[in-house]
Amino acid sequence: MKELNNLYTLRVFEDRDPYRVLIRTILSQRTKDANTDKATNQLFSKYKDIHEVADAPIEDIEKLVKSAGFFRVKANRIKEVSHIILDYYGGIVPNNMKELLELPGVGRKTANCVLVFAFQEPAIPVDTHVHRIPNRWGIVNTKTPEKTEEELMKIVPKNLWIEMNDLIVQFGQTICRPINPLCDQCPISDLCEYYHS
């Protein structure tokens, strides 16, 4: 559950560089989009690539990413992950779930974000919206993001996985909000279990 937070939509991931997507997603854990934007922009405006980040003083990284919250933990993770990618992967971010999950601070949500937003590989990143909304609709009945991902993979055609997160996040931010959802504006309220309860 520690990774359960708002993901960046496809529009925000205009820079599809795998390293930047990975770092941005690590910074996004347990914070708001605006905080992640600020921290990411500050980090990469000073340090342009993985080599510069890996060589940067930890105190400097902490200052640059402070707005993302948990900045000491995140700064250490960023530096550690950067060194591992340089030392074990030749500076290339892995493009598979198994190796991504071996990186410190990378759980399924972060790994799925990298697969989808950097590599355009079919995966289902599960954030608060993607966990909450299918449960509200009644198409899944799950308690954890991992289980939601597993169930959605069974029922959603694979060719829709990449677009799914972006669409559900937008829907969750505008209509199916966590508090006071706008059910009267929802185009599928007739099919929604939450609406009928």
Q: What percent of the chain has pLDDT over 70?
A: 92
In terms of DSSP H, where are the helices of the chain? 18-28, 33-46, 50-55, 58-65, 71-89, 97-101, 108-113, 128-137, 145-155, 161-174, 193-196
**Domains of the chain, first to last:** 18-118 (1.10.340.30), 128-196 (1.10.1670.10)
Query: What backbone phi and psi angles, to 5 degrees, belong to 119?
Result: -110, -5
What was the pLDDT predicted at 32?
85
Output 4 or 92, whichever has higher pLDDT.
Answer: 92
Token pair listed for 155 = 């029922």
Read off the pLDDT band of 16 (50, 70, 90).
confident
Residues of each annotated binding site for [4Fe-4S] cluster: 176, 183, 186, 192
- 174, 142 Cβ separation under 8 angstroms: no
Query: How many alpha carbons fall within 13 Å on the CB side of residue 5?
Result: 19
pLDDT digits (tens, 9 = 90+) for 154-187: 999 999 999 998 899 899 989 999 999 999 999 9
- What pTM, to 2 d.p., does this model score? 0.87
Residue 3 pLDDT > 90, yes or no? no
Residues of each annotated binding site: 176, 183, 186, 192
What was the pLDDT predicted at 14?
57
What would you measure as the largest C-alpha separation in the chain, in angstroms? Answer: 56
Token pair listed for 147 = 């289980």
Q: What percent of the chain has pLDDT over 90?
A: 85
pLDDT digits (tens, 9 = 90+) for 51-110: 999 999 999 999 999 999 999 999 999 999 999 999 999 999 999 999 999 999 999 999
pLDDT digits (tens, 9 = 90+) for 56-68: 999 999 999 999 9
What was the pLDDT predicted at 6?
42
Residue 13 pLDDT > 70, yes or no? no
Which DSSP symbol is given to 127?
-
Residue 162's alpha-carbon distances to 10, 99, 114, in angstroms, are 9, 20, 11
Q: Region 40-61: what's the mean pLDDT?
A: 97
